C-alpha cells in the first residue's frame, strides 16, 4: 500500500474521530482546533505529493514520505509542550485555590470559637 494512501486514510479517520469527540463533548473546542488544523494539514500534504516532495528536497530529506512522519512527530512535541504549560498553570491555580479554601476554613473556625 502506498504511504500517501495510508496517510490520507489516517488523516480522514483522525479528523472524523476528533469531530466525533467534540460532538460528544469529550474534547474541548479549544484543544480540538489545534488537532483539526493538524489533521487538515496532514490531509493536504497527503493529497498533494508535489508539495511534500518539494519541501523534502528543500530540507534535504531523501525519502519524501518520511517528512509526513517528521512533521507529525514535531507536532506531537509542540502539543506536549503546550499541554505541559496548561498543566503548570492549572497546578498553580489549584494550589492558590487550596490555600484560599484553607484560609477561609480557618477564618470560619475562628469565628465559631
DSSP string of 70-107? HHHHHHHHHHHHHHHHHHHHHHHHHHHHHHHHHHHHHH
Neighbours of 69 (CB within 10 A): 12
Q: Is the pLDDT of residue 24 over 80?
A: yes
pLDDT the model gives residue 47: 87
**pLDDT over 90 (residue 75):** no
Q: Which residue in 77, 70, 22 sits closest to 42, CA to CA?
A: 70
- What is d(CA 48, CA 90) in angstroms, rounded to the nearest whole number? 40
pTM value is: 0.65
Q: Which of 39, 34, 31, 37 is nearest to 87 (CA)?
A: 31
Query: Between the ranges 35-39, 76-80, 105-109, where is the mean pLDDT highest?
Result: 105-109
Amino acid at each position: 500500500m502506498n504511504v500517501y494512501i495510508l496517510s490520507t486514510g489516517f488523516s480522514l479517520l483522525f479528523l472524523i474521530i476528533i469531530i466525533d469527540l467534540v460532538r460528544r463533548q469529550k474534547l474541548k473546542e479549544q484543544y480540538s482546533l489545534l488537532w483539526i488544523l493538524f489533521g487538515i494539514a496532514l490531509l493536504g500534504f497527503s493529497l498533494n505529493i508535489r508539495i511534500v516532495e518539494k519541501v523534502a528536497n528543500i530540507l534535504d530529506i531523501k525519502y519524501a514520505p518520511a517528512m509526513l512522519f517528521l512533521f507529525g512527530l514535531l507536532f506531537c512535541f509542540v502539543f506536549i509542550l503546550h499541554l505541559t504549560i496548561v498543566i503548570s498553570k492549572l497546578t498553580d491555580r489549584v494550589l492558590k485555590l487550596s490555600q484560599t479554601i484553607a484560609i477561609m476554613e480557618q477564618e470560619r473556625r475562628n469565628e465559631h470559637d
